[in-house]
Amino acid sequence: MSTAPGARGSTLADRITASLPSLTNAERRAARALLARYPTTGIETVALFAERAGVSGPTILRFIAKLGFEGYADFRRTLREELEAQAQYPLTRPPEADSAASGLAELGRRLASTIGDTLAMCDRAELDRLVAALCDERRAVWLLGGDFTEVAARHLEFHLRKMRPRVRLLEHDLIRRADQLADIARRDLFILFDIRRYQRDSVASARLAAARGATVVLITDQWMSDAAEAADLVFRARVDGPSRWDSLVGMIAFVEILAQAYDEQVWSRSRQRVETIEQHRAALSEASAAAQQ
């Protein structure tokens, strides 16, 4: 994971994660409380932060000192800057000054760097946990994307439904989604894609799924959606780049890697399912062709 302050894609969350081995048990509780509701918990007072983490005020101050801050005000200033970055959208975010003049090769290099930064933020052990959960076909898989990230959710749904049963996309229509949420069972997998300008209905859906006992997986940006508070597993993708528009190239790369890792585990049994699907497609095509004659 890239954690150097000021590194491309680096956030305070990266620094916190990198610092975990050097923290005391109490300081780790503070770190995890902040990461669970990042970065909003850190914007609160020391007393409220300490209450959320179940530690003392002095523990919070020692924790932020280990992160390299001179004081709590300096720490909060950094978090506010990240909150401002979270709130950016095309009308408030100009492209990089030289992006329009960049050649295709240079733009390609920057997109490749976005993928590299995304994979650097991925914990392999956490990825393996998600793959293991997907391998348990007793669990239904529910996927939800936002207005912009639905394409990533659909991309993952396409791969998973070829390899396993009980994979469903949740509806954007909130009335229909409420019906679907009522069907989520304990230990099902709820996979949410949510990036900046985070959708409140998406965050609420994650919380409802968690309340029903589902394992919640969040795939978000480098600043992290508030849905992280309800998530069991969180994966971050870099979404900013030379354009004023956010990019899904890192998130799609993560989906591709997840699908490949899952395929490697289940191909011996999913191959028969794929063969059956192909047979059905051929039969349906023949029927459609005959009907047009």
Residue 292 one-letter amino acid:
Q
Residue 3 has pLDDT above 60, yes or no: no
Domain that holds residue 26: 12-88
Q: Is residue 151 located within the same domain as residue 241?
A: yes
Average pLDDT over residues 60-82: 90
Q: What is the rounded distance in angstroms from the CA atom of residue 21 to the CA atom of residue 158?
A: 38
Higher per-residue confidence, 248 vs 197: 248
Query: What pLDDT score was predicted for residue 5?
Result: 37
Residues 157 and 265 in one domain: yes
Whole-angstrom distance, CA of residue 228 vs CA of residue 216? 9
Q: What is the pLDDT of residues 71-81, one digit of tens each?
A: 998 998 888 88
CATH of the domain at 173: 3.40.50.10490
Indicate whether 159 belongs to any domain: yes
Over 70: is that where the pLDDT of 60 sits?
yes
Lowest model confidence (mean pLDDT) among 1-15, 101-115, 168-182, 233-247: 1-15
Q: Which amino acid is at 100?
A: A
Tell me the C-alpha distance between 189 and 184, whole Å: 9
Check whether residue 47 and residue 143 sit in a common domain: no
Q: What is the pLDDT of residue 98?
A: 60
Cβ count near 138 (within 10 Å): 8
Q: Is residue 95 part of a domain?
A: no
Is residue 140 located within the same domain as residue 77? no
Beta bridge partners, 142, equal: 168, 190
Could you tell me if 264 and 170 lie in one domain?
yes
Q: Answer yes or no: do 67 and 153 share one domain.
A: no
Let me know whether 171 and 273 are in one domain.
yes
- The mean pLDDT value for 53-63 works out to 94
The whole-number pLDDT of residue 89 equals: 65
Tell me, yes or no, whether 143 and 203 share the same domain: yes
CATH classification of the domain holding 61: 1.10.10.10
**pLDDT value at residue 121:** 87
| pLDDT above 70 (res 281) | yes
Does position 238 have pLDDT exceeding 60, yes or no? yes
Tens of pLDDT, residue by residue over 210-234, are: 999 999 999 999 888 889 889 999 9
- Residue 81: inside a domain, yes or no? yes
- Give the pLDDT confidence score for residue 179 in this predicted structure: 98
What's residue 6's pLDDT?
A: 39
How far apart are the C-alpha atoms of 139 and 217, rounded to whole Å?
13
Is it the case that residue 101 has pLDDT exceeding 80? Answer: no
Q: How many domains does the chain have?
A: 2
Contacts for 189 with CB less than 8 Å, ≥ 6 apart: 133, 134, 139, 140, 141, 142, 214, 215, 217
Tell me, yes or no, whether 201 and 135 share the same domain. yes
Q: What is the mean pLDDT of the chain?
A: 89
Say whether both 131 and 81 belong to one domain. no
Q: Is residue 287 part of a domain?
A: no
Q: How far apart are CA 97 and CA 100, in angstroms?
A: 7
How many whole angstroms from its chain centre is CA 52? 23
Q: Is there a domain that residue 185 lies in?
A: yes
Concatenating the DSSP letter of every residue in 228-241 gives: GGG-SEEEEE----
**Reported pTM:** 0.77
Instruction: Mark whether 135 and 74 lie in a shared domain.
Output: no
Tell me, rounded to whole angstroms, the distance of Cα 91 from its chain centroid.
Answer: 24
